[in-house]
Structure 1
Amino acid sequence: MNLSIYILFIATFLILNKSAKASGLGIFQRYEVHIINNFENNTDELIVNCRSADDDLGEHFLDKGEDWHWQFRVNFFRSTLFYCNVQWGELGQRFTSFDTDNISSTCEETSTCFWSVREDGIYFSCDNKNYEKRHLWP
């Protein structure tokens, strides 16, 4: 009896997850986030440090035009959250680079998020072509 309940639970979970993935809401869906140094006048490297509650992805030093990225899967509770600190000379900003509730629904088709860091702010895109300014430097 317990085995058949267990099998029924697993089958239901797999079916629901497959249908949720088709709409971009799947549990354990894989995403990729890119941070790109798009400063025109790049006298200093862009220093990037991203982390979640579970993972510190370390410091990365990007020259003009360089792209640093990572991949991950959304957790079971759909509470995956990454934020990044970016520093360029005297300018510094912290921003949410991935939030399951907000950003994942924006990028559900591509499963890829792009952040372009520029002199006048930080821009967001799902296709690396059409960018929208999301953050200003303080």
Structure 2
Amino acid sequence: MVNSPKINLNSIFCSMFIISIVVISLICSEANEDPRGPVVRVTIQNDNDYLLGVHCKSRDDDIGFHILAKGQLIRWKFRQYFHFSTLFFCGFSQGQIKKGVFEVYNAPRDIYRCTQNCTWMAKSDGLYGYADVPKGATLIYKWFK
């Protein structure tokens, strides 16, 4: 009987520890449904009367080179990881004329601006950006030429 209180205290401690682990796991799983991060969609649409060359990439992914006629678009999606370091940039051209290379998704800038959809419209004077809830486009980047 001398060991009885010690055994009881150990079993209480173990039970509390297990319950704590379960509660913490439940809280973490509800806070972030997918540990890989939320899905973000990037869309670029050409609103020009000329063919627009677009080549987009990140450090890890190359979306490839696309030629967009007026009204055509390029779209891709990715997961925004917890460290918020995702960066996609695109080079734009009109034939041999380089229009510029711009960041179409930069996590520190866009994590709150476009949490699910980053939409870009290529117009005659530059690249316009829309947020998740478009309240009108904003000229973000002017073409070099």
- Quick one: which of 76, 81, 84 aligns to 2:87? 81
What secondary structure does 1:101 align onto?
A: helix
Inter-CA distance 14–48: structure 2 relative to 1 (3 Å threshold): same
Alpha carbons 1:114, 1:128 under 8 Å: kept = no
Is 1:53 aligned to 2:68, yes or no? Answer: no
Q: How far off is 1:82 after superposition?
A: 0.7
Alpha-carbon offset, residue 27 of structure 1: 5.9
Q: Structure 1 56/8 Cα, relative in aligned 2: closer, same or farther at 3 Å?
A: farther
Residue 56 of structure 2 is aligned to residue 31 of structure 1: no
Shift of 1:6: 7.3
Q: Secondary structure at the match of 1:102?
A: helix
Aligned to 1:125: 130
Aligned to 1:98: 105
Q: Cα distance 1:94–1:112, how it changes in 2: closer, same or farther (>3 A)?
A: same
Q: 2: CA distance between counterparts of 1:7 and 1:52?
A: 38
Cα distance in structure 2, aligned partners of 1:80 and 1:10:
27
Mark the structure with the bigger radius of gyration. 2
**Two-structure CA RMSD over aligned residues (Å):** 2.6
Contact (CA 8 Å) 1:114, 1:124: kept in 2 or not?
yes
Moved more, 99-108 or 55-64: 99-108
TM-score normalized with structure 1 length? 0.77
From the superposition, tell whether residues 37 and 129 of structure 1 become closer, same or farther in structure 2 (CA, over 3 Å). Answer: farther
How do 1:57-68 residues align onto structure 2 when only pairs under 5 Å count?
57-68=63-74
Provide Cα deviations, 1:72-92, integer angstroms capped at 9, x if missing partner: 111232211111111113142
Percent identical residues: 28
Residue 135 of structure 1 corresponds to 141
The structural deviation recorded for 1:10 is: 4.5
What amino acid does structure 2 have at the position aligned with 1:59? F
1:102-128 CA-partner distances (Å, limit 9, x unpaired): 1121123xx111111111111101246
Aligned counterparts of 2:136 and 2:129: Cα–Cα separation in 1: 8
